């Protein structure tokens, strides 16, 4: 290759935005791929203020698109997966995205000319695509429903239908802590972990096979670990951030998750 072409190629690569990426959206009738440039150029893109951003722990402003504009035709009974580049998968029912309580989901898109800063305690940002919420408290949106570094949004069947080995028995009473714990587990833990070998996330280990954490951790130690993973292992680069406050996970929800895990320890699948 002539030297001048090599130099031009290097210059072009250096000029490309570091965080430019594509987002694939598949709602069951063919997928659509958007580049970050296309998203930023949309007429519905606007600047939104997020008073309490999950990734940064402070107020942030983003160029963003109303997420519902990108998901035409979804119905409250639908279910969507938000897939991140690092293996995190947020399972979010469409009813949450379409809520009428006043919580609004936005797809924040990084403008390469105005790069987002690194997150606290990490040497990277949530760029280039990040699901953020205005008024999340209105619909009890959890921190795990703010996925970032998104690469795909896809319509799929509900978690219960796809992964029957993680579902508690239907004979349990409606008010059972195990049932409540299962709902919390799907919203939080299942984004990073599998259970009984079922699930798509790859960030964390399976939580039932070969051993369930309730089998080797005292309940108080397990509660402390879920609140702050560093309380068990001093591991600065660990991916699990924990649920330190009542807003992140209430004590009742935390106890319910542990009740669900304890129940599932007696309902292991054999591989």
Q: Do the beta carbons of residue 129 and residue 36 sit within 8 Å? A: yes
Distance (Å) of CA 20 to CA 36, 79, 90, 191, 262: 6, 27, 22, 24, 43
Q: Do the beta carbons of residue 161 and residue 239 sit within 8 Å? A: no
Domain map (residue ranges) of the chain: 18-156, 160-264
Distance (Å) of CA 187 to CA 42, 130, 140, 144, 226: 31, 17, 11, 7, 14
Angle between helices 177-187 and 251-264 (to 10 degrees): 100
Q: What is the pLDDT of residue 12?
A: 41
> Tokens standing for 51?
């008073």
Q: What is the pLDDT of residue 213?
A: 96
Q: What is the pLDDT of residue 270?
A: 80
State the DSSP string of 177-240: HHHHHHHHHHHTGGGT--BTTB-S--SS--SSSS--HHHHS-HHHHHHHHH-GGGTS--TT-S-
CATH number corresponding to 18-156: 3.90.420.10
Q: What is the pLDDT of residue 5?
A: 43
Q: Give CATH superfamily name and number for 160-264.
A: Cupredoxins -  blue copper proteins (2.60.40.420)
- Per-position pLDDT tens, the chain of length 271: 444 444 444 444 444 445 568 999 999 989 999 999 999 999 999 999 999 999 999 999 999 999 999 999 999 999 999 999 988 999 999 999 999 999 999 999 999 999 999 998 788 999 999 999 999 999 999 889 999 999 999 999 999 999 999 999 999 998 999 999 999 999 999 988 999 999 988 888 999 999 999 999 999 999 999 998 888 777 666 667 788 888 889 999 999 999 999 999 999 998 6
The 10 Å Cβ neighbour count of residue 131 is 24
Distance CA(74)–CA(57), nearest Å, equals 31
């Amino acid at each position: 290759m002539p030297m001048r072409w090599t130099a031009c190629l290097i210059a072009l690569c250096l000029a490309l935005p570091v965080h430019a990426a594509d987002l694939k959206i598949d709602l069951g009738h063919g997928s659509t791929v958007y580049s970050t440039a296309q998203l930023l150029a949309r007429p519905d893109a606007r600047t939104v203020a997020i008073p309490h951003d999950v990734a940064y722990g402070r107020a942030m402003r983003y160029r963003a698109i109303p997420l519902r504009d990108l998901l035409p035709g979804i119905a409250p009974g639908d279910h969507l997966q938000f897939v991140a580049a690092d293996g995190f998968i947020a399972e979010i029912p469409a009813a949450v995205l379409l809520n009428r309580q006043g919580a609004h989901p936005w797809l924040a898109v990084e403008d390469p000319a105005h790069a987002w800063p690194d997150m606290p305690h990490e040497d990277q940002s949530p760029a280039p695509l990040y699901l953020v919420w205005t008024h999340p408290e209105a619909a009890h949106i959890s921190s795990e429903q703010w996925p970032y570094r998104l690469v795909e949004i896809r319509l799929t069947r509900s978690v219960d239908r796809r992964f029957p080995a993680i579902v508690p028995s239907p004979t349990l009473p409606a008010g059972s802590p195990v049932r409540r714990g299962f709902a919390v587990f799907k919203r939080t833990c299942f984004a990073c972990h599998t259970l009984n070998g079922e699930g798509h996330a790859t960030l964390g280990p399976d939580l039932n096979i070969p051993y369930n954490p309730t089998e080797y951790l005292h309940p108080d130690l397990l509660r402390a670990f879920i609140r702050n993973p560093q309380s068990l292992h001093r591991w600065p680069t660990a991916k699990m951030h924990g649920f330190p406050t009542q807003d992140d996970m209430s004590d009742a929800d935390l106890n319910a998750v542990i009740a669900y895990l304890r129940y599932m320890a007696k309902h292991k699948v054999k591989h």
